[in-house]
Amino acid sequence: MSAVGPLFNPRSIALVGATDKSGWSLNTYNNLIEHSFGGPVYLVNPRSEIVHGVPAFASLSAIGAPVDLAYVMVPTAAVLAILEEGARLGIRNYVVLTAGFGETGPEGERLQESLTALAEREGLTILGPNGNGFINAAAGITPYGLPIPAPLLSGPVGVVLQSGALASAVLSFAQARNLGLSLLTAMGNEAMVSVTDVVDYLVDDPATKVIALFLESVRHPAEFAAVARKAWAAGKPIVAMKIGSSQLASQTARAHTGALVGDDDVVSAAFRQLGVVRVRSLEDLIITAGLLASVGSLPGRRLGVVTPSGGGSEIIADRADDEGLQIPAYAPETVRRLTEIMPKFGTVANPLDVTGYVVVDRTLLGRAMEIVADDPGIDIIVLLTELPRVRPPDPSIFVEAFGQTAKRIQAAGKPVVVVSNALTDITEFGREIAAASGFPYVAGGIEHGLTALGAAVRWSESHVSPEPETGPEALVEGETVGLWAEREAAALLTANGIPVVPSTFASDVDTAAAAADAYGYPVVLKAAAAGLGHKSDIGGVRLGLANEAEVRSAFVDVMDKTKADGVLVQPQRSGGVELLVGVVRDPSWGLTMAVALGGIWVEVLRDSALRLLPVDKAQALRALTELRGIDLLRGARGSETADLDVVADVVARVGQLAVGLGDRLESLEINPLLVRGSRVEALDALVTWRT
Amino acid sequence: MSAVGPLFNPRSIALVGATDKSGWSLNTYNNLIEHSFGGPVYLVNPRSEIVHGVPAFASLSAIGAPVDLAYVMVPTAAVLAILEEGARLGIRNYVVLTAGFGETGPEGERLQESLTALAEREGLTILGPNGNGFINAAAGITPYGLPIPAPLLSGPVGVVLQSGALASAVLSFAQARNLGLSLLTAMGNEAMVSVTDVVDYLVDDPATKVIALFLESVRHPAEFAAVARKAWAAGKPIVAMKIGSSQLASQTARAHTGALVGDDDVVSAAFRQLGVVRVRSLEDLIITAGLLASVGSLPGRRLGVVTPSGGGSEIIADRADDEGLQIPAYAPETVRRLTEIMPKFGTVANPLDVTGYVVVDRTLLGRAMEIVADDPGIDIIVLLTELPRVRPPDPSIFVEAFGQTAKRIQAAGKPVVVVSNALTDITEFGREIAAASGFPYVAGGIEHGLTALGAAVRWSESHVSPEPETGPEALVEGETVGLWAEREAAALLTANGIPVVPSTFASDVDTAAAAADAYGYPVVLKAAAAGLGHKSDIGGVRLGLANEAEVRSAFVDVMDKTKADGVLVQPQRSGGVELLVGVVRDPSWGLTMAVALGGIWVEVLRDSALRLLPVDKAQALRALTELRGIDLLRGARGSETADLDVVADVVARVGQLAVGLGDRLESLEINPLLVRGSRVEALDALVTWRT
């Protein structure tokens, strides 16, 4: 990782390639001047003595004073020379706005590699190329190539984006939410400084409470995972919008499990295990980050809803239900106290509509909230109200009213989430009232506000996976190449503590018959041969053999059809619920486990739960309970109730085995894993190796 | 229905109960003055000569001039007397703001009934009580009790709300979207004028292109259905937000089907069949209505996406995928022309990112759009751009640039949907630029913009059910009371052209044995007795009887256990896919059909499709294809591919039978309806009658 503290905190800045002809140059210069950068700004242009109305220098060398950061806008071909000159002058930090590098093809990639090589050789830190720069709002340092709308609000959210254009959209949207940022960075090509580096910095940055990410791809999953764990340990939520959900799932062959493991699903699984809140829109990114920065970790999911509107109450109830949040009845004492203050045409209930009487009594909403805050059955208060949009002749009425409510919110002793009806900007006047009255963050609009609240509650309840460790070495006999069919795979499972259906290998018909007799009927015969993965497709599986004669006949038949080395004889199981437990290697995130119910659940519904490995038993249990068909394991449709504890244990063992197999493993699949009450056993398995 | 045209278009208004002490009174008066009501406004107050700074009248009678509308704010107890006085004076139209009527309990309900009775007797039209009034923005008539933010934008969307507080939220939000309204009505208690009446008016109103509804309940489903069909025939989309999705599904016993027919699901089914676009947030309500008003009916679902941002392109791609919209590759000629104008570091693709070079060349985005518009494989253009938020020193640059793009949009010959990155207000300056440049509606933010576009495309493709007619009388033998068990139900189905498994009623063992022999083995025996609904629960069903001896033994056993009148002997079917087809009577919407797949599909997944009756065969087919498990009928998992045309025909016949049975029917359920290829037959059925 790169240390980016000095990059984001320069005391002097040179704009290299500054020119009146470039909008980027003008924007960057204006931003530094208008947002009051405290140190010197040097404009560098070899051909103009005056740029943007001030004297320019012919070169970096001509400045003759220390430069902490060079912001480079020269043509692509000239960038390297500028960095070399800067390195000679001892300039350590660079933003490269110039495009034409890795994003354009092989030639650009080579140029970008030269850039990175130079930087590593000379100990330079480079943000970009092809990035708009950054805005350190906390320190008033704004080397950023697009216009920054005034006022620049400084605050608790650090934003990192793999998109320049969206950086500006996010900046405007955060301002419209009256939400201050600590740092905003448009990453560009990440030739050197990566998203992970910036997140790492923000985790340590005291001005940042929440980190918001816009990601096109996670370039360094292992580093990302490490820094996400660090953020979680520090209690700083990461909220991330990761695009690409519409891309086709990776088509890499990955046994049966592959179909369940789309790239986007793996990202979701990884984020969940790392405590990263995934959101689906720019609006949710900023509103959720703002809410988490405002209320922090939440103590539960029981909402007390206080509104001046029946319609608003019911929208909140619908949305809370979607998010799995609860709106319990108020305690009798709460109802008694609310009844005392409510107008007589109102009704006391949760959600509470104090009615349009708020037009007459501006304190009614706040007083109702104060009472609800005392209810021991409520974890979080949701208050529906709006900051004013338009300046009236006498604003003091608003300051007074919102100040009173703000005081009540501070005194509530519980998190209060304020939402407005719909998502409109907090206007300049709204910002003034909020500042003058101490009114908290308004999580704009019921729709996005409740999405944010649901996400914040889930983050507060999240459990982050332990950092992967080298687990116990798996016990393996045999050469780990190619494909291991059932016989070898079953031996591997058994050796590593995973229960497998009893099985006897028989290469002659008498051994087969004897084994069948010993198990009792009915039995199953399966063709067994090294590398034979799809035995049922070639007539290599015979079910329901009821007596010795059938076994003998089947043996001859199977051996004849499949030319196998022999057969596996197994007792035939009946009843129970079939699971599929598979592990595949995701190209980015590594070993990933899918748990699914068999039959239509997996084949038609693709009902599966994913986990990056390793998983412990508790996580395996959580994965199982995420399945839509989990009720089948709980005894729905007359099935025997499964001992989920035992199932989770076996699933976790499969994960441990996969981790223990390490780099050798390509995929491992148990299909089916049969569950009958507390009896869990693998009926078939397949392993593929990487070499 | 009430004729509400005169109500919404008064030339003179009296505010009765006007007083300086009431915020509502002040708001209403200010609204009328500030938004330039053209006619006289009379303030009526028996105790003050001056109200809101102008002379007041002691009573309606004292005005001595014609009054088209009285806006009534007097105390609850005084309302009736005011209406009586008004009626004597010939005042025909009233808004009653006063609360304390039906919303408060039995006493208020009685008062409200007196109000309605008076109105009907005297031919008065009343909006409310307990409603804030209306805003006729098209005509500048604003008798509305809450502040109206300036400017009041007049435009193509008519809004009707069953919520006063949300009416103001919607008004602010529409203004922030730069979307003008024709009429906004806060309904109040709907004692007389109902949502349906106002929608009916808006369908005929030339100023209204799209109707937006916020509904807490649909009070008159049949009237609503009629007016929705009228709107659809007129080509005016209705967009509706209906709350209550979190309410528990109706607990009324309704056979097995009941569990599938939640109230909210029925609303969704009804809206879909009526061509009403259902949305889930206030933001989507207004943004979708605005989009439909802007682009009208859309010719397809193939999008050409033109943006200045890679990140924005990919968000649009993800969201389009969610909405089932397509982003096909551009035609070779389009690619060639785009390549000519793109900067060399850009990439030509759909979605198109013309790059941040738009900062240098403000015409690039518009020129790219112009080229994409010529692509014959594109139905709709999605253009990502923002109106400016902040007034620069020289606004003429913006007017020029947006004017050029606006001209290109007008000339495109295809619908162009403009979205911004995130949902921020269109500011006063943005409105000015839009007005000065002729720039079209911006469907704010990718998230809501694409939701709106998906809804608009679905509306454009929607098929509205025919108005229910009295269908052919069903053929019924027997007394239609209580519960009809399988024997009677099967006879009813057969008589009305629905295929049923062959069945022989046998009251003695020899008849049973002879029937079984005739069918061939295996056979099924089922206890048959009038009113016996759950025969399997009492051991009344015996499956898989393989020979005559088993049939004789089973006959004795079933007769002994169930004390039935006899048994039904049927051939036992194997294989195929089981459906459930049920009809129940929804208390609001009437006969409603549910189609579901059997087994876990219905029991665990509640996978069903609903339709209000009647349905034709095409609609039955659409319902089937909505099932998540439809692939089972298409041959997934080795099942025989079903002839969906035959299945749909049988399903439609069931619906016709239910409609033909009319008021007598409470519920009818076929479970299972067995489908094997083109063979479709009911294996069991149950009918319950209303009386």
CB pair distance less than 8 Å for B246 and A424: no
Q: What is the pLDDT of residues A206-217, one digit of tens each?
A: 999 999 999 998
Q: Which residue in B has a C-alpha nearest to residue A390's C-alpha?
A: B149
Residue pair A130/A101 in contact (Cβ under 8 Å)? The answer is: yes
Q: What is the largest CA-CA distance in chain A?
A: 102
Residue pair A420/A386 in contact (Cβ under 8 Å)? The answer is: yes
CB pair distance less than 8 Å for A317 and B246: yes
What torsion do the CA atoms of B315, B317, B320, B325 make, to the nearest 10 degrees? 170
Burial class of residue B107 in the structure, from the number of CB atoms within 10 Å of its CB (0-12 exposed, 13-18 middle, 19+ buried): exposed
Within 8 A of A185 by CB-CB distance, chain B residues are none
Q: DSSP secondary structure string, B425-490?
A: ---HHHHHHHHHHT---B--SHHHHHHHHHHHHHHHH--PPPPP---PPPP--S---SEE-HHHHH
| Among A308, A314, A422, beta carbon nearest to B244 | A314
What SS3 class is residue B610?
strand
Residue B464: predicted pLDDT: 81
> Nearest CA of chain A to the CA of B575: how many Å?
16
Of B498, B545, B510, nearest to B526 (Cα)? B545
Give me the mean pLDDT over the A501-529 stretch: 95
Interface test with A, best of B103, B168, B243 (most A CBs within 10 A): B243
Q: Which domains does chain A have, with CATH numbers?
A: 5-292 (3.40.50.261), 297-460 (3.40.50.261), 502-571 (3.30.1490.20), 577-689 (3.30.470.20)
Residue pair A324/A357 in contact (Cβ under 8 Å)? The answer is: no
CB pair distance less than 8 Å for B243 and A311: yes
Pairwise CA distance, residues B450 & B428, whole Å: 25
CB pair distance less than 8 Å for B281 and A447: yes
Residue A604: predicted pLDDT: 66
> Nearest CA of chain A to the CA of B605: how many Å?
8
Q: Which residues contact A110 (CB under 8 A, 6 or more apart)?
A: none
CA angle A155, A156, A160 (to 5 degrees): 100
Looking at the predicted structure, is the pLDDT value of residue A512 above 60?
A: yes
Looking at the predicted structure, is the pLDDT value of residue A418 above 90?
A: yes
The answer to whether B420 contacts chain A (CB < 8 Å) is yes
The answer to whether A30 contacts chain B (CB < 8 Å) is no
Give me the mean pLDDT over the B553-567 stretch: 91
Give me the mean pLDDT over the A664-691 stretch: 93
Reported confidence tier of residue B262, pLDDT bands at 50, 70, 90: low
In A107-237, the DSSP E strands lie at: 125-127, 133-136, 154-161, 181-186, 210-215
Residue B82: predicted pLDDT: 98
Pairwise CA distance, residues A70 & A14, whole Å: 5
Interface of A with B in 632-691 (CB under 8 A): 632, 636-637
Determine what percent of chain B is predicted with pLDDT higher than 70. Answer: 96
Pairwise CA distance, residues B417 & B194, whole Å: 34
Pairwise CA distance, residues B112 & B126, whole Å: 11
Helices (H), A374-464: 396-411, 428-437, 446-460
Residue B247: predicted pLDDT: 65
Q: What is the pLDDT of residues A376-405, one digit of tens each?
A: 999 999 999 999 999 988 899 889 999 999
Residue pair A660/A476 in contact (Cβ under 8 Å)? The answer is: no
For residue B359, what is the DSSP state?
Answer: G
| Among A172, A318, A446, beta carbon nearest to B245 | A318
Q: What is the pLDDT of residues B509-531, one digit of tens each?
A: 999 999 999 999 999 999 998 87
Residue B250: predicted pLDDT: 37
Q: What is the pLDDT of residues B454-486, one digit of tens each?
A: 999 999 998 887 776 666 788 888 888 999 999
Burial class of residue A394 in the structure, from the number of CB atoms within 10 Å of its CB (0-12 exposed, 13-18 middle, 19+ buried): exposed
In B338-446, the DSSP E strands lie at: 352-353, 380-384, 416-419
Looking at the predicted structure, is the pLDDT value of residue B573 above 70?
A: yes
Residue A217: predicted pLDDT: 87
Within 8 A of A284 by CB-CB distance, chain B residues are 447
Instruction: List C-alpha distances in Å: A546 to A81, A296, A521, A571, B644.
Output: 83, 64, 5, 11, 39
Pairwise CA distance, residues B256 & A472, whole Å: 53
Within 8 A of B599 by CB-CB distance, chain A residues are 637
CB pair distance less than 8 Å for A359 and B24: yes
The answer to whether A154 contacts chain B (CB < 8 Å) is no
Reported confidence tier of residue A538, pLDDT bands at 50, 70, 90: confident
The answer to whether A577 contacts chain B (CB < 8 Å) is no
Looking at the predicted structure, is the pLDDT value of residue A248 above 50?
A: no
Pairwise CA distance, residues A682 & A659, whole Å: 19
Of A345, A422, A337, A415, nearest to A382 (Cα)? A415
Reported confidence tier of residue A682, pLDDT bands at 50, 70, 90: very high
Residue B469: predicted pLDDT: 67
Pairing of strands B665-676, B577-586: antiparallel
Reported confidence tier of residue A247, pLDDT bands at 50, 70, 90: low
Pairwise CA distance, residues B111 & B80, whole Å: 9
The answer to whether B101 contacts chain A (CB < 8 Å) is no
Give me the mean pLDDT over the A171-181 stretch: 97
Q: Which residue in B has a C-alpha nearest to residue A216's C-alpha?
A: B311
Residue B258: predicted pLDDT: 54
Pairwise CA distance, residues B15 & B60, whole Å: 9
| Among B176, B245, B421, beta carbon nearest to A169 | B421
Q: What is the pLDDT of residues A652-671, one digit of tens each?
A: 999 999 999 988 999 999 99
CA angle B234, B237, B241 (to 5 degrees): 145
Of B423, B361, B341, B354, nearest to B386 (Cα)? B423
CB pair distance less than 8 Å for A315 and B282: yes
Q: Counting every residue, how long is chain A?
A: 691
Q: What is the pLDDT of residues A275-303, one digit of tens each?
A: 999 999 999 999 999 999 999 999 999 99
Residue pair B669/B581 in contact (Cβ under 8 Å)? The answer is: yes
Interface of B with A in 272-291 (CB under 8 A): 280-284, 286
Looking at the predicted structure, is the pLDDT value of residue B608 above 90?
A: no
Q: What is the pLDDT of residues B226-254, one digit of tens each?
A: 999 999 999 999 999 999 877 643 333 33
Quote the mean pLDDT of chain A. 92
| Unique residue bearing structure tokens 């500054």 | A18
Residue B213: predicted pLDDT: 98
Of B483, B475, B477, B481, nearest to B688 (Cα)? B483
Q: Could you tell me the sign of the dihedral formed by the alpha carbons of A274, A277, A279, A285, in that order?
A: negative
Q: DSSP secondary structure string, B156-178?
A: EEEEEES-HHHHHHHHHHHHHTT
Interface test with B, best of A175, A282, A306, A323 (most B CBs within 10 A): A282
Instruction: List C-alpha distances in Å: A625 to A147, A582, A597, A606, A647.
Output: 48, 17, 11, 15, 11
Interface of B with A in 299-338 (CB under 8 A): 308-312, 314-315, 317-318, 320-322
Of B421, B454, B405, nearest to B288 (Cα)? B454
CB pair distance less than 8 Å for B243 and A149: no
| Among B169, B320, B629, beta carbon nearest to A421 | B169
Q: Counting every residue, how long is chain B?
A: 691
The answer to whether A606 contacts chain B (CB < 8 Å) is no
Q: What is the pLDDT of residues A121-166, one digit of tens each?
A: 999 999 999 999 999 999 999 999 999 998 999 999 999 999 888 9
Looking at the predicted structure, is the pLDDT value of residue A254 above 50?
A: no
Q: Which residues contact A638 (CB under 8 A, 6 or more apart)?
A: none
